[in-house]
Chain A
Amino acid sequence: MNVWTGKGDRIFGAVVILGSVAYGVAALNLQVGFMTDPVGAKTFPLIVAGVSLICGLVMVLKPDPDPEIPDGATWMRLAIAVATLVAYAYALRPLGFLVPTTIAAAILSYLIEPRPRYAALAGLGLAVGLFVIFRFVLGLGLLAWPRGF
């Protein structure tokens, strides 16, 4: 048997095992009040940790065949997408809706289909279109621009 078949499942299973142990330890160290029921705050989380520990072991010992693993360029695109979304999450409040949305939507569009002009227009169109829908049709309280503009 080749150890490397199903390494996706094996690695994930190992992560799950570590995670469940950590979760279980955290559960054992939970603060408990004076008045408590027979089950208490720890039991259920411990059961959950136990179940996922077993599942993690099964994944390591009996992995499924590997999925198609993305190549370097794809990982790069996914990383850019995540970075864009994180930045968008931070930018939405201080910078208002329109500017961050245009940029983030354009980047995502470009990542799906690398056509710069189309992506830029899609970003702008989505930002303006969605703003009109959200603000004027649905009446959500969105700020278009940064405060004080």
Chain B
Amino acid sequence: MDILSNLALGFSVALSPWTLFLAVIGCFIGTIVGALPGLGPSNGVALLIPITFTMGLDATAALVLLTSVYYGAMYGGRISSILLNIPGDEPAMMTTLDGYPMARAGRAGDALVISGVASFVGALFATIALALVAPMLARVAYLFGPAEYFALYLLAFSTLGGIASKNQAKAALASAIGLGIAMIGLDNSSGFTRFTGGNLHLADGVDFLVAIVGLFAVSEVFVFIESHGKGSAIGVKLDRVTVPWREMWGTRWTMLRSSVLGFVAGVLPGAGASLGSFLTYMMEKSIAGAKGGFGTGVAKGVAAPEAGNNAAAGGALVPMLTLGVPGSGTTAVLLAVLMTLNITPGPTLFANNPEVVWGLIASLLIANFVLLAMNVPMVKVFVRVLSVPPQLLLPGVMMVSFVGIYSLTGSYFDLLLMVVFGIMGWLFRKLDIPTVPVILGILLGNAMENNLRRAMTLSDGDVTFLFSSGIAIGLWIAAVLGFVAPLFLRRIIRRPEVPDHAKPAD
């Protein structure tokens, strides 16, 4: 079997003491980052990228560290959802619906254990599925030419705009702004700079790390200054943690079903973990029916979204690694990691850098077990993190952002640009404009334009070339459907009410 020898290669990389150490550190930091309200997987990873690079880690090490943080944050997000009724990150929002009522009823420990195990099941399933599906998709990706890639990028933007947001126009605008920013700087084909306004600092274009840290981390500080301690929800104490075996066993099918659905939701380009937890919660709610008592604090209500969002987190890695198209905000950030490391995701990644891909997959398998240990028996350690006050945490986040970007680029101009992106992030959040498409636009803009230009060069300017293959037509149809269908579905499917103070924190 091919996959076994690949995994053996992966484990030979992952089991080296240094990589193992990084994975454990990553899991630990990730769980803290996830648990802290106001820091989620995307801004947690964003904060750490510049520092990781300045430390001079090699590609595998950096990727292992940052994906462990990513997985860890997906686990940790549930802690503040359950104890504070504030989701630690956006995908954990659905966990508040049943987690907080459970905690109010004195069952915080049970909720944490069940959701922790559900996270493990979801993440483990997704990692195994990733190992099986990704190589197959990588083989399909060989069939992709410029026309197909152009349609694929379009699909990512349209599903992100269609499914993940409430207002199509705003999501499309966010994508356009990101693409517009990506155009700034040197044009590879003509050799002239574009849209720099003569500013030399902009000749290299806008560094996407600056944009990511600004939009995801700096904006958070403005949000907290505005809310000014408002909305600090009532916390619930955690007494002792026991394992409710019987109740957990009762959720086994919920966990498995949710893992499968979550993984599929994660693989769809542009959909991501929030969609995964939303879909799985709705699925389990309708399976259980009115008698299920969803929303009043039932075990299945925390098991479903947690299995779902962790499975989706793994699933989102599939399109990111095989096609270079991220499935969520955080995988967009991870794509930025790869691009900075000069690794081109796509089928060639599997052929040329097998040690990176399989080392990553093996590390994720190990990370899952580490995370299970951290998040079930040792969960009390992380609960203590919740008592860090925002007036200490947020200035800290800000300083880490500044030092990270400063030590990476050494330019005060980039710091100013980061502040501008921070203000933009705050304003966009105020106006309910999603920021993830902006990042995606900045990341994919040049690749998207280059593929369009290459396609047109190949066909000598014949536009129909864009629709000339089955794959391309399929992607175009999916893109149009992904953007338009939610307009109609939104009337049928309503998002369940989320309490005001439980708004997504990232």
Task: Note all chain A residues with C-beta closer than 8 A to B189.
Answer: 36-37, 41
Scoring B residues 384 to 424 as 1 if CB is less than 8 Å from chain A, else 0, what string do you get? 00000111101110111011001100001001101100110
- Give the CA-CA distance A19 to B232 in the complex, in Å: 38
A70 and B226 contact, Cβ closer than 8 Å, known pairs A38-B456, A56-B173? yes
A-facing residues in B312-335 (Cβ within 8 Å): none
A86 touches B419 (CB 8 A): yes
Task: Note all chain A residues with C-beta closer than 8 A to B426.
Answer: 78
Closest to A38 in B: B461
A108 touches B394 (CB 8 A): yes
Q: Does B224 contact A (CB under 8 A)?
A: yes
Taking each of B55, B180, B430, which has the highest tally of chain A beta carbons within 10 Å of its own beta carbon? Answer: B180
Q: Chain B contact residues: over half helix, strand or loop, or mixed? A: helix
B-facing residues in A16-34 (Cβ within 8 Å): 16, 20, 23, 26-27, 30-33
Q: Does B143 contact A (CB under 8 A)?
A: no
Scoring B residues 168 to 192 as 1 if CB is less than 8 Å from chain A, else 0, what string do you get? 0110110111011001000101111
- Give the CA-CA distance A106 to B395 in the complex, in Å: 8
B-facing residues in A52-99 (Cβ within 8 Å): 52, 54-56, 58-59, 62, 64, 67, 70, 74, 77-78, 81-82, 85-86, 88-90, 92-93, 97
B406 touches A130 (CB 8 A): no
A-facing residues in B45-76 (Cβ within 8 Å): 51, 54-55
A51 touches B172 (CB 8 A): yes
A41 and B192 contact, Cβ closer than 8 Å, known pairs A89-B415, A134-B403? yes
Nearest chain B CB to A17 CB, angstrom units: 11
A118 touches B449 (CB 8 A): no
Q: Does B453 contact A (CB under 8 A)?
A: yes
A89 and B416 contact, Cβ closer than 8 Å, known pairs A113-B229, A122-B391? yes
A122 and B395 contact, Cβ closer than 8 Å, known pairs A31-B190, A138-B55? yes
- Give the CA-CA distance A32 to B167 in the complex, in Å: 37
Task: Note all chain A residues with C-beta closer than 8 A to B456.
Answer: 37-39
Q: Does B304 contact A (CB under 8 A)?
A: no
Q: Which residue of A20, A48, A74, A89 contacts B402 across the interface (Cβ within 8 Å)?
A: A89
Q: Chain A contact residues: over half helix, strand or loop, or mixed? A: helix
- Give the CA-CA distance A113 to B457 in the complex, in Å: 58
A44 touches B183 (CB 8 A): yes
B457 touches A37 (CB 8 A): yes
A140 touches B402 (CB 8 A): no
Q: Which residue of A82, A111, A113, A126 contacts B399 across the interface (Cβ within 8 Å)?
A: A126
A23 touches B195 (CB 8 A): yes
Q: Which residue of A20, A39, A85, A139 contacts B453 across the interface (Cβ within 8 Å)?
A: A39
Residue pairs across A and B with Cβ atoms less than 8 A apart, 27 shown, are: A12-B431, A33-B191, A38-B453, A38-B456, A38-B461, A40-B190, A44-B179, A48-B179, A48-B180, A52-B180, A55-B170, A64-B167, A70-B226, A74-B228, A85-B402, A85-B422, A88-B402, A88-B415, A89-B415, A93-B412, A97-B403, A105-B395, A106-B395, A112-B228, A112-B391, A112-B395, A123-B395
Enumerate the 3 nearest inter-chain pairs by beta-carbon distance, A residue then B residue, closest first: A38-B461, A89-B415, A55-B173
